[in-house]
Structure 1
Amino acid sequence: MPIDMPLSPRYAEARVGAIGQFEKLIVPIVRIVKFNPIELIVSLVFVLIIKFLKIKRLLCYTHAMAITDMERRRTRMRPIATRNLSIDLLRTFATIADVGNFTHAAERLGRTQSTISLQIKRLEEMLGRQVFERNAHRISVTAEGETLLAYARQILRLNDEVVSRVSEPDLAGIVRLGTPEDFATMHLSGVLADFARTYPRVALEVTTDLTLNLLERFHGGEFDIVLVKRERLGPLQGTQVWREPLVWAARDRFVVEQNPLPLVVSPHPCVYRKRALSSLDDVCRRWRIVYTSTSLAGAQAAVRAGLGITVLPRAMVPGGLVTLGTDSGLPQLDDTEIALLQAPGTLAKPTRRLAEHIIAALEAQSAYL
């Protein structure tokens, strides 16, 4: 066919289509200026090759997508890996948070300091978070540690409750407990509630009274366990479960300007009353008793009304009252101690369990304060 001969519509369409396919799919083809059968054949061959490569690539892509989809389905079917927190690690963590350092925690847990350090390291690696801020003298719980601590206490409480309920499901009986009213109000409610949940078949008979009355009734056989206030330097009796500073509490600071000093106290015999009068006598400070109340709430109400000043454990000073010390001309007060006494002889199992529970719970509370 002569070169100058005009292209037929059929050849022109084929040529344009071939060139267009080639230009779109691979590389530009040198524009064919005039029709040539050889050029048309070459163009068509290139197009076929490109089509083949394109189909092959599409098949490879489809195969890869199929494999990926299968992997995704397998992943969805595969159970999600969970990280189970160890009760032992949580107990170590909570104990360190309670006592404030590794040494005391190791003593309480009966382990070496290196052992509990490794346990905390394992816990932090498992969570991917730091739970303690460490310095030369004391450690503090981080923000993430505070979150963990709240859950750890719940988990440990449930763990201990489950172990007790399952291992001793038939534990039943009556335990007679005597305690000072102010201490029971402030510190024992949660402790006894936890015990009741753990041992629902054990009935608790709780009586509140002044310490000296409790001791007299205890020695008369009325109680299985008593919690009593005792002097730090007095004869040791029972197991110490609590220690806390005593402070002077009043509505305002002007009360110390009165002479004699007006006192709000419990009736005799009361350890706090005796402590207040003895300390004032030691510094030759005149005093007078203006209000006597058998209840903590009554004494606090009288002080809040401005009738006088009283002696309270620091944690029991309510809002609306101020604490006064030596800078106000008042004598220093010794710390108060609470001791647990158990009836002589062989104790029933429910009594032993309650004593162990109170000692452990109050030790944890006092260490955390």
Structure 2
Amino acid sequence: MNFTDLQVFKAVVEEGGIVKAAHKLHRVPSNISTRVKQLETAVGVPLFHRDRQRLHLSPSGELLLGYAERLIGLSEEARHAVSGAAPRGLLKLGALESTAASRLSGILADFHRRYPDVHLELSTGTNDMLVSAVAERRLDAAFIAELPSARGLAHLPAFRESLVLISCPDHPPITSPGDAEGQSLIAFPHGCAYRRVLQRWLKRESLATLRVLELSSYHAIVACVAAGAGIALMPEAVLDAMPQALVRRNRIPRAQSEMVTPLIWREGEVSPPVLALRTLMALVAKGLARKREGRRMKTGR
């Protein structure tokens, strides 16, 4: 199996056809067609279903694409590691809205200064949406809210989050699920990890029987809670970034409120930009550990 044939195959898939792949690779279409046929001969199965001028990946093609991406990614990683060249290319990064709003601004600014040749695209979504996007190669890496259960995903602890239950200022303190009885819940749509935490705290198998107002913005959630529309669970770091928010903060048990935000990527498929991001996060983690150690030494704990 020829490595160049795999690169051509990947380009045909990404560009959606022979002609566009030829333009991207600066080759003539006939050369691209020949390369694809050579690869099909080498593996012994059709990689595309041909419909007039259009190509559709066959099941075997789908399977080979995953291996091709891993091999090409490893090749790039090895080349950059040996040459010592700074990483370059596109990094498709995902994050929870809360993480993007409260944690990433300084880190991404630092990343941009360190690696100016990496073009960064940041997308936000729910925990489950981001996990699927990484697993399906629509994102290279993502900051999520729970350790991934999907096979084939590696992770690195990134941030510690403390969740807090918020209510309108004149609501009596909420210390148990019973205190929240009759309240509407304001939460992100299905797939949000914090929504699942709220469900567990309420000791509910489902939220289907409760009134749930689904919003996709923390600013909107805080505004609705402040107006008395219901209660919500959110990271305290996000709330700290909204000093104008007029809400009551209610604590829930640490077993449910303390969470770790991991950075995830596909195991064995570390492109140079993802490797650079992982390295930066490791430096951030070391810096935070040094600060914590310094505080402990000052307090004698």
Please indicate, yes or no, whether the TM-score normalized by the shorter chain is above 0.5.
yes
The amino acid of 1:321's aligned partner reads: V
Q: Secondary structure at the match of 2:267?
A: coil
Once the two structures are TM-superposed, the CA of residue 334 in structure 1 deviates from its matched residue by 3.3
**Which of 271, 274, 278 in structure 2 is aligned with 1:348?**
271
The 3 A distance-change label for structure 1 pair 277 and 342 is same
Aligned to 1:358: 281
Once the two structures are TM-superposed, the CA of residue 232 in structure 1 deviates from its matched residue by 11
1:244 correspondence with 2:166 = no
Is the Cα–Cα contact under 8 Å of residues 280 and 331 in structure 1 kept in the other structure? no
**Which of 248, 262, 274 in structure 2 is aligned with 1:322?**
248
Is the Cα–Cα contact under 8 Å of residues 313 and 336 in structure 1 kept in the other structure? no
Query: For residues 202-213 of structure 1, what are the structure 2 equivalents within 5 Å?
Result: 202-213=118-129
The amino acid of 1:323's aligned partner reads: R
Radius of gyration: which is bigger? 1
In 1, the alpha carbon distance for the partners of 2:180 and 2:264 equals 41
Count the aligned residue pairs: 200
Greater per-residue helix proportion: 1
Q: Secondary structure at the match of 1:308?
A: coil
The 3 A distance-change label for structure 1 pair 227 and 367 is farther
1:279 correspondence with 2:201 = yes
Is the Cα–Cα contact under 8 Å of residues 260 and 287 in structure 1 kept in the other structure? no
Aligned to 1:198: 114
Higher relative contact order (CA 8 A, sep 6+): 2
Is the Cα–Cα contact under 8 Å of residues 173 and 203 in structure 1 kept in the other structure? yes
Is the Cα–Cα contact under 8 Å of residues 140 and 266 in structure 2 kept in the other structure? yes
Is the Cα–Cα contact under 8 Å of residues 93 and 139 in structure 2 kept in the other structure? yes
Aligned to 2:223: 301
**Structure 2, gaps ≥5 residues long:** 1-82, 293-301
**Structure 1, gaps ≥5 residues long:** 1-166
**Which of 109, 122, 144 in structure 2 is aligned with 1:228?**
144
TM-score (structure 2 length as normaliser): 0.57
- Aligned-pair identity in percent equals 24
Query: For residues 1-369 of structure 1, what are the structure 2 equivalents within 5 Å?
Result: 170-230=86-146, 238-252=155-169, 254=171, 256=174, 259-281=181-203, 288-317=210-239, 318-319=242-243, 320-325=246-251, 333-361=256-284, 364-365=287-288, 368=291
Give the aligned CA root-mean-square deviation in angstroms. 3.5
Aligned to 2:20: none
Moved more, 263-272 or 245-254: 245-254
In 2, the alpha carbon distance for the partners of 1:170 and 1:331 equals 42
The amino acid of 2:287's aligned partner reads: A
Moved more, 189-198 or 285-294: 285-294
Once the two structures are TM-superposed, the CA of residue 275 in structure 1 deviates from its matched residue by 0.7
